Amino acid sequence: MSNNEMARLERASFGSKLGVILATAGSAVGLGNVWRFPYMTGENGGAVFIIIYVVCVLLLGIPCMISEFIVGRHGQANTARSFRKLAGGTPWAVIGYMGVLTGFLITGYYAVVSGWCLQYIWASLVGHLQGDPEYFKAYFSELSSDPVKPVLWTIVMLGITYLIVEHGVRNGIERASKLLMPTLFLLLLVIVAASCMLPNAGKGIAFLFKPDFSKISGNVFLGALGQSFYSLSIAMGCICTYASYFSRQTNLTKSAVQIGIIDSLVAILAGLMIFPAAFSVGVNPDSGPSLIFITLPNVFAQAFASVPVVGYMVSLLFFVLLTLAALTSLMSLHEVSTAFFQEELFITRKKAALLVSVSTAVIGAFCSLSLGAVDGFVIFGRSLFDWFDFITGQVFLPIVGFLTCIFIGWYVPHKIVHDEFTNWGTLNGRFFHFYIFSVKYVCPLAILMIFLHQLGLLG
């Protein structure tokens, strides 16, 4: 028996196809879908942005996801070790370490934003989300700059994640995903229905689905491209780590397509939840990152003013949904480092998970405190929070994504790639050439363009 087969036998794995899809889609569906996608759509012209986004997911995001699947399933280990195996002693192994580092650094930051969601659930429950637009603005800035509350919520969020991850791949992550993802979908449909029944909702629907091609620009294109990578959780170690729990029967291409479709669908439904309500009360949908925490509570309060009970419920359900989406992504981020520490430090899963929760809570606390609670965390005009967002999302993500494509496209023997792609010849490899062409040329070029664009050097 080869080493790889032994590793496969000893290693944890997902128990079913559905588990694979729901857990990985859970990683992909996150704050990016419900928070970032709608405001990017608002800022970038609506329907046109959505069309370009879907094309980016299909032609670029999915090939990148398949590449990470291949590395992870072949490696049967944490992301760093999986890359190391394929790199065979060459410096290419660095990509895996960078992926783990990116995942690790973003965990704390992501937990802070997830923690805000918890606070908003609480606020909805006790009826604090009522007032005029100024009130909502003040509420959010008070919360984010508070020295204690957001830190506590961050710890709570990481604590919940710990309890899930600690239970292992099948009993923790897979089980939780099978419960959380359908719940999330159901909540989404309920809120979409409530939002689309409001007067004037049609305007919001038209904004989302009637393309105005005069809005196309380099910015719209690169924005959609960047969003598609972020939304699919690419280049953070998550996809690669989860793929190491896939079985030899998992069809990588089909799974990537299914996950891409679920992720895009949730993003578009999130738009359908937000824009009809926003248009119905005449609020501009291009209000940027504050859309979710400032604009939206106000929109819900106004839109359902005549039936406050419905307004109350919609707001509560919305933040529950946001928290569930954040939690499933946080689980995958947490797992990247948990698997890494467990396997590289030879410690138990429990210890590894605890180490990750505690260390990322410290990072999260610093990030949170840098938003106004404590002076001195502003470096070169950016808060620590913004630095984490910038370095992980805009620097590491494109670099790791770019290198992964080059690695698979140009370095790893095509025989290995083909074997994984076709499950050792048992699946049809019709799209293999298209896939290789994409990861060799198209994806690296596209990622390079996003990178230069984000640094202000292009578009």
Q: Which of 21, 23, 25, 28 binds ligand PHE (CB under 6 A)?
A: 28
CB of 274 vs ligand PHE, minimal distance in Å: 15
198-257: contacts with ligand PHE (CB under 6 A): 230-231, 233, 236, 238
Q: Taking CB under 6 A as the rule, does residue 32 contact ligand PHE?
A: yes
Contact 432, 422 (CB under 8 A): yes
Q: What angle do CA 424, 429, 432 make, to 5 degrees?
A: 110
CB of 248 vs ligand PHE, minimal distance in Å: 25
The piece of 3-11, 91-99, 326-334, 427-435 that touches ligand PHE (CB under 6 A) is 326-334
Q: Which of 20, 22, 31, 57 binds ligand PHE (CB under 6 A)?
A: 31
The piece of 22-30, 111-119, 178-186, 357-365 that touches ligand PHE (CB under 6 A) is 22-30
CB of 249 vs ligand PHE, minimal distance in Å: 25
> Which of 125/391 has CB closer to ligand PHE?
391
Exposure b/e, 86-111, CB count within 10 A at least 16 = b: bbeeeebbebbbbbbbbbbbbbbbbb
Q: Taking CB under 6 A as the rule, does residue 33 contact ligand PHE?
A: yes
Distance of CA 126 to the CA centre of its chain: 29
**Cβ neighbours for 49, distance < 8 A, ≥ 6 positions apart:** 40, 41, 215, 220, 223, 224
> Which of 27/67 has CB closer to ligand PHE?
27
CA dist 423 and 421 (Å) reads 6
CB of 451 vs ligand PHE, minimal distance in Å: 17
Query: CB under 8 Å, gap of 24 or more: what pairs does 311-320 form?
Result: 312/124, 312/127, 314/191, 314/194, 314/195, 315/124, 315/129, 316/121, 316/124, 316/125, 317/187, 317/190, 317/191, 318/187, 318/191, 318/273, 319/117, 319/120, 319/121, 319/124, 320/121, 320/187
Q: Taking CB under 6 A as the rule, does residue 294 contact ligand PHE?
A: no
Give the type of residue at 139: Y
Q: Taking CB under 6 A as the rule, does residue 333 contact ligand PHE?
A: yes
> Which of 260/409 has CB closer to ligand PHE?
260
CB atoms within 10 A of CB 134: 9
Residues that contact ligand PHE, how many (by CB under 6 A): 14
Q: Taking CB under 6 A as the rule, does residue 369 contact ligand PHE?
A: no
> Which of 113/301 has CB closer to ligand PHE?
113
> Which of 106/129 has CB closer to ligand PHE?
106
CB of 326 vs ligand PHE, minimal distance in Å: 7
Q: Give me the count of residues in the chain.
A: 459
- Residues within the interface to ligand PHE (CB under 6 A): 27-28, 30-33, 230-231, 233, 236, 238, 329, 332-333
